[in-house]
């Protein structure tokens, strides 16, 4: 009897997890998060989050690898950035993430939506005193302007974020007024 009850409960959790995932597949325009299936058995997913406004990541689209363990939702999903990103709490080499809810602060009531929104919040508010990437954290603390420029460059190069420098835009407009092709100019000149 106990084994049957456990199997029924586990089946319900799996079903609830699949419903939760189906809700994310549509994506949400408000928070700009989405999840796609990689593996038909719901264990491998590909997530995407938008860079938050007023950050160096704004306008970028960040791809995530999400692996759902058999023990989910009692254990957190394994998540890493596929898109290269310059951030103190994310490895610039492997995409590994230092975020408490993906480790010891996970609770079974948390959802993948919670994870993706927490990652967006992490992009907006780094924790340099608990870094995943010590080099990036050091730059963040010692030279904040250089950090922002580097993060913006990586966002542009790797995540497709638009260039957002008024000075750069002014220079591009000036070259266009001289008769140069805007597409050629932007391909050969970066604002960084």
List active site positions: 98
CA atoms within 13 A on the CB side of 110: 19
Q: Where are the domains of the chain?
A: 2-161, 163-192
Is residue 75 a contact partner of residue 69, using CB atoms and an 8 Å limit? yes
Q: What is the pLDDT of residue 13?
A: 43
pTM above 0.85, yes or no: no
Average pLDDT for runs of 10 along the chain of length 192? 31 50 55 86 94 96 97 97 99 98 97 97 97 98 96 94 73 85 68 56
In order of 5, 62, 94, 120, the CA distances from 55 in angstroms are: 48, 14, 22, 11
Q: What is the pLDDT of residue 63?
A: 98
Q: What is the pLDDT of residue 165?
A: 63
Is residue 155 a contact partner of residue 60, using CB atoms and an 8 Å limit? yes
Helix axes 134-142, 144-159, angle to 10 degrees: 130
Q: What is the pLDDT of residue 42?
A: 87
Q: What is the pLDDT of residue 87?
A: 99
Is residue 64 a contact partner of residue 120, using CB atoms and an 8 Å limit? no
Is residue 49 a contact partner of residue 62, using CB atoms and an 8 Å limit? yes
Reply yes or no on domain 2-161 having CATH 3.10.110.10. Answer: yes
Q: What is the pLDDT of residue 45?
A: 97
């Amino acid at each position: 009897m106990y084994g049957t009850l456990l199997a029924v409960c586990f089946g319900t959790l799996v079903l609830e997890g699949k419903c939760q995932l189906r809700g994310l597949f549509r994506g949400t325009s408000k928070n700009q998060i989405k999840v796609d299936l990689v593996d038909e058995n719901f264990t491998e997913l590909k997530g995407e989050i938008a860079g938050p406004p007023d950050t160096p990541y704004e306008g970028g689209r960040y791809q995530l690898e999400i692996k759902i363990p058999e023990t989910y939702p009692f254990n957190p999903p394994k998540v890493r950035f596929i898109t290269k990103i310059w951030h103190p709490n994310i490895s610039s080499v492997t995409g590994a993430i230092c975020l408490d809810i993906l480790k010891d602060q996970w609770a079974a009531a948390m959802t993948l939506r919670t994870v993706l929104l927490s990652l967006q919040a992490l992009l907006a508010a780094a924790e340099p005193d608990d870094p995943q990437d010590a080099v990036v954290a050091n730059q963040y603390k010692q030279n904040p302007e250089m950090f922002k420029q580097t993060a913006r460059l990586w966002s542009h190069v790797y995540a497709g974020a638009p260039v957002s420098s008024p000075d750069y835009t002014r220079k591009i407009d000036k070259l266009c007024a001289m008769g140069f092709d805007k597409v050629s100019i932007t391909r050969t000149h970066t604002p960084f």
